[in-house]
Homo-oligomer: A and B are copies of this chain.
Amino acid sequence: MLIAIPQSMHFEAALPLQSGASLRDYDLSFETYGTLNAHKSNTVLICHALNASHHLAGVYEGQPKSKGWWDNMIGPGKPLDTGKFFVIGVNNPGSCFGSTGPMHINPDTGLVYGADFPVVTVEDWVHAQARLLDALGITTLAAVMGGSLGGMQALSWAIQYPKRVRHAVVIASAPNLTAENIAFNEVARRAIVTDPDFHEGNFYQHDTIPKRGLRIARMIGHITYLSDDVMNEKFGRQLRDSVINTVHKNSRAYKYTTQDIEFQIESYLRYQGDKFAEYFDANTYLLITRVLDYFDPAARFGGNLSLALAQVTAKFLLVSFTTDWRFAPKRSREIVKALLDNQRDVSYAEITAQHGHDAFLLDDPHYISVISSYFDRIDQAMGAGA
Contacts and interface: CB of A to CB of B under 8 A. Distances in A.
B186 A265 contact: yes
A257 B262 CA distance: 39
A190 B270 contact: yes
A259 interface: yes
A195 B212 CA distance: 8
A232 interface: yes
Contact of A212 (B194, B201, B232, B302): B194
A273 B191 CA distance: 12
Q: How large is the interface on A (under 10, 10 to 19, 20 to 34, 35 or more residues)?
A: 35 or more
A205 interface: no
A219 interface: yes
Nearest to A264: B179
Contacts of A215: 190, 194
A195 B213 CA distance: 9
A176 B248 CA distance: 19
Contacts of A257: 119, 290
A177 B223 contact: no
For this chain, the copies found in one complex come to 2
A182 interface: yes
Given A178-B231, A194-B215, A216-B190, A258 B286 contact: yes
A119 B256 contact: yes
Contacts of A187: 216, 219-220, 223, 269
Contacts of A189: 258-259
Contacts of A220: 187, 220
A203 interface: no
A109 interface: no
A314 B61 CA distance: 69
Contacts of A299: 237, 251-252
A220 B223 CA distance: 11
A193 B191 CA distance: 13
A90 interface: no
A168 B177 CA distance: 41
Contacts of A273: 190
Contacts of A287: 258
A300 interface: yes
Interface of A: 18-21, 115, 119, 176-180, 182-184, 186-187, 189-191, 193-196, 201, 212, 215-216, 219-220, 223, 226, 228, 231-232, 234-237, 245, 248, 250-252, 254, 256-259, 262-263, 265-266, 269-270, 273, 283, 286-287, 289-290, 293-294, 296, 299-300, 302, 325
Given A179-B265, A258-B286, A258-B290, 5 more contacts: A189-B259, A220-B220, A251-B302, A258-B283, A325-B325
7 contacts: A19-B256, A119-B258, A179-B263, A180-B223, A183-B231, A194-B212, A250-B302
